[in-house]
Amino acid sequence: MIQIKEKSNMKWTTDKVATRQCTRCNKIKPLSSFDSDETKRSGFVGRCRKCDHEQREYTEKRNTHRQSDCLKKKGYHTREEAVTVAAKAITRSNSTLLRVYHCPHCGSWHLTKQQMIGHR
Ligand SMILES: [Zn+2]
Ligand SMILES: [Zn+2]
């Protein structure tokens, strides 16, 4: 089924336009709207350029969001530094356990609160 609005009153006999259905927006678009991908059997990526762009922006936004989340937390350069701060914080309040973890997003060490369960 090939239907493109602006070409609906044209005959399809002469100019055959190779089309493809986008896996994301499900619109049928000419192959020029798709990036080629040699690893795919069809030779083209499943998403049209527009969707690919939107998807990329979405992922970038999510990454930026994660990073800003990192900025809110204090990052320590070394594990020792983070552990020292965590140890001090733990002695101040014995209801909270601080866990030290290495952040893959900003490459520094963060502290995360871990509420002790069933310990009163
Ligand atoms: Zn699309
Ligand atoms: Zn981080």
Question: Using CA atoms, how far apart are residues 88 and 115, in angstroms rounded to an integer?
Answer: 16
Which CATH class, in words, describes the domain spanning 17-68?
Answer: alpha beta
pLDDT tens-digit series, residues 70-83: 888 889 999 999 99
Cα 59 to middle of ligand 2, angstroms: 17
Structure token pair of residue 102: 């290495």
Cα 100 to middle of ligand 2, angstroms: 12
Alpha-carbon distance values, 24 to 57, 63, 75, 89, 117 (Å): 15, 21, 38, 48, 43
Cα 52 to middle of ligand 2, angstroms: 27
Q: What integer pLDDT is reported at residue 52 of this predicted model?
A: 94
User: With a cut of 50, which residues of the chain have pLDDT below it?
Assistant: 10, 12-14
Q: What integer pLDDT is reported at residue 110 of this predicted model?
A: 93
Q: What integer pLDDT is reported at residue 24 of this predicted model?
A: 95
**What pTM was estimated for this model as a whole?**
0.44
Cα 67 to middle of ligand 2, angstroms: 6
Question: Using CA atoms, how far apart are residues 34 and 36, in angstroms rounded to an integer?
Answer: 6
Cα 104 to middle of ligand 1, angstroms: 31
Q: How is the chain split into domains, by residue range?
A: 17-68, 74-115
Q: What integer pLDDT is reported at residue 13 of this predicted model?
A: 45
